[in-house]
Amino acid sequence: MAAANKLFNSVNPSSIQQKQIKGYFISHAHLDHTAGLIMNSPNDNAKNLYGLASVLDVFKKNYFTWSAWANFGNEGEGPILNKYKYQTLVPKKEIAIDNTDLFVTPFVLSHVQPYESTAFLVRHQNSYLLYLGDTGADKVEQSEQLAALWKAIAPLVMNKQLKGIFIEVSFDNSIPEKALFGHLTPKLLMEEMGKLNQLTNGNLKNTPLFVTHIKPCDGCEIKIKSEIKKENQIGLNIFYPSQASLIELK
């Protein structure tokens, strides 16, 4: 692992962007998730942006316009630079990802109603990986989006085809539900994982859980990790990925 990380970190970032990244899944259009893509677009090469129609519309109307930046898309305000091609995803419909052996199925998530976020179920042959963008808990968002997602992936967990789940925990348990703005806490995370664990007859512990999107503040990461450990009564294998570190899934 150390050798692999050293090799990965020694590669020029421009080379990674231009040669190794074949496309972008846009879970939602908030700037903390899109600013890097927008700012680095002049150095990028042609590829696809994959997202729900409501998400891609923000790029077309607000970001890739000449008043805000430059139009690197293939639609919208002229002149059109045609670097990025918008690929509109349809919820629960799998499509192939250009220039790869991957396929993706999107699921709608609730993130500060009525705005949509997205979970991406990525498939390679018979193996899957699930990445969730920002999401609130169903009981807070007054939705059934996560329930529908858990029902869809439960068979993959039970068949050991789902190799990992990436899910956000933005705030610690002290933040009131009305101030979460479409995010999870350790308590809410484990409530949702409990539902998924029931659907999988207790087999969720066989699928690694990667916690992402911890908001930066003094002591927040330590507190959130401590609370997750305390709330983890079903024995899940939980990890905390760091930027530019290699993750190997079996």
What is the pLDDT at residue 5?
A: 46
What is the pLDDT at residue 94?
A: 98
What is the pLDDT at residue 246?
A: 86
What is the pLDDT at residue 12?
A: 84
CATH class, domain 92-250, is alpha beta
Domain ranges of the chain: 1-89, 92-250
Q: What is the pTM of this model?
A: 0.94
C-alpha to C-alpha distance for 166 and 132, rounded to whole angstroms: 6
**Strand blocks (E) in 67-151:** 84-89, 95-96, 103-110, 116-124, 127-132
Describe the strand order of the beta sheet including 95-96 as a list of residue ranges.
95-96, 103-110, 116-124, 127-132, 162-168, 209-212, 238-239
What is the pLDDT at residue 214?
A: 95
C-alpha to C-alpha distance for 21 and 19, rounded to whole angstroms: 6
**Which regions of the chain are under pLDDT 70?**
1-10
- 213-242 pLDDT per residue, tens: 999 888 899 999 999 999 999 999 999 998
What is the pLDDT at residue 220?
A: 92
